[in-house]
């Protein structure tokens, strides 16, 4: 392939050469190596802005909640890890709650989530959230129809109260195709270090795909409000989804002086 001078400079960097060396021994994949180094460069730029955002949150005693929702294997956890990679661990938390225990099941549904809301100067990331009850729970029979209906009647009012109390609430949904989910499940099942992620819920996800889609559409219809909108991101390409998610967060939060050059959306080439 013919590389432009600026592309050649990227390939010649340490990260570029490392990406190139990870190619098949019989074929150096310059296209993939270039794509990878461009992605890493873009992520680093955005991470610099995330540090500025966190500093602003801390110094001005703001409270930020960022919700990541999506189907199983959509890449929510991986996106959160890249976002917090260089943030101060004392000023952010990642919340991924397990199934409610006996005591929590007898409480108001939102109570366990209220306890996890941020203090002043803190950012909290929810890797799945109260929206379990909008889709995952009814699809898998983990709640009653009455519990589901009660949640759908209350959720907008609850979020309105949180926002009115001074919380910045960002809701992001990672969307993938059925074929992509199947492929990722196979990667997880065959990986010795990832197969622990494959749960009993995951095992049924493909069979319940259409039912899940129905509940998901209702969730968007009823909870995508002007005050608390959803940002739906095509997550079939993990790299692009992570970049888009960070760009969205940085544009939604009014932190300090923003670097407009960095915040300007940049199209990344498709993954191989």
> Does residue 147 sit within a domain?
yes
Q: Is the pLDDT of residue 16 over 50?
A: no
Residue from 245, 229, 232, 241 nearest 270 by CA: 241
Give me the long-range contacts of 35-43 (CB less than 8 A, separation at least 24).
35/239, 35/268, 35/269, 35/271, 35/272, 37/10, 37/11, 37/13, 38/10, 38/268, 38/269, 39/239, 39/243, 39/268, 40/15, 41/10, 41/15, 42/243, 42/266, 42/268, 43/82, 43/242, 43/243, 43/246
Question: What φ, ψ does residue 127 adopt, rounded to 5°?
Answer: -90, 90
> Does residue 217 sit within a domain?
yes
Q: Are 221 and 193 in contact (CB under 8 A)?
A: no
Distance CA(217)–CA(207), nearest Å, equals 18
> Does residue 97 sit within a domain?
yes
Residue 235 has, within 13 A of its CA and on its CB side, a CA count of 25
Compute the chain's Rg from CA coordinates: 20
> Does residue 44 sit within a domain?
no
Residue 232's pLDDT is what? 98
> Does residue 55 sit within a domain?
no
| 169: β partners | 65
Considering the chain, what is the average pLDDT of its residues? 90
Distance CA(197)–CA(194), nearest Å, equals 6
Range of the domain at 227: 60-236
Each residue's pLDDT tens digit, 24-43: 544 555 566 677 888 999 99
> Does residue 1 sit within a domain?
no
Distance CA(177)–CA(74), nearest Å, equals 9
> Does residue 90 sit within a domain?
yes
Residue 271's pLDDT is what? 43
Quick one: CA dihedral 93, 98, 99, 101, positive or negative?
A: negative
Q: Are 212 and 139 in contact (CB under 8 A)?
A: yes
> Does residue 187 sit within a domain?
yes
Q: What is the mean pLDDT of residues 3-14?
A: 55
Q: Is the pLDDT of residue 270 over 90?
A: no
Residue 185 sits in a domain whose CATH number is: 3.40.50.300
Confidence of residue 171 (pLDDT cuts 50, 70, 90): very high
Number of separate domains in the chain: 1
Q: What is the mean pLDDT of residues 162-184?
A: 98
């Amino acid at each position: 392939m013919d590389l432009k001078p600026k592309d050649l400079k990227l390939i010649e960097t340490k990260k570029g050469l490392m990406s190139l060396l990870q190619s098949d021994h019989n074929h150096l994949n310059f296209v993939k190596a270039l794509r990878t180094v461009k992605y890493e460069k873009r992520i680093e730029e955005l991470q610099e802005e995330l540090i500025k955002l966190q500093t602003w949150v801390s110094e001005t005693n703001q409270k930020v909640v960022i919700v990541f929702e999506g189907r199983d294997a959509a890449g929510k956890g991986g996106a959160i890890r890249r976002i917090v990679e260089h943030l101060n661990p004392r000023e952010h938390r990642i919340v991924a709650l397990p199934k409610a225990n006996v005591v929590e099941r007898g409480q108001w549904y939102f109570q366990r989530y209220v306890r996890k809301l941020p203090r002043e100067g803190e950012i909290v990331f929810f890797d799945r959230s109260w929206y379990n009850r909008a889709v995952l729970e009814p699809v898998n029979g983990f709640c009653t129809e009455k519990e589901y209906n009660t949640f759908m009647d209350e959720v907008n009012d609850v979020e309105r109260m949180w926002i009115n109390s001074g919380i910045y609430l960002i809701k992001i949904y990672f969307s993938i195709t059925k074929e992509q989910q199947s492929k990722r499940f196979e990667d997880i099942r065959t990986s010795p270090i990832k197969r622990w992620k494959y749960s009993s819920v995951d095992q049924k996800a493909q069979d319940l795909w259409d039912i899940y889609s129905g509940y998901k559409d209702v969730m968007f219809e009823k909870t995508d409000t002007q005050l608390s909108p959803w940002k739906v991101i095509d997550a079939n390409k993990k790299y692009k989804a992570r970049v888009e998610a960070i760009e969205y967060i940085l544009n939604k939060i009014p932190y300090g002086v923003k670097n407009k050059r960095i915040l300007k959306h940049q199209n990344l080439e498709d993954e191989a």
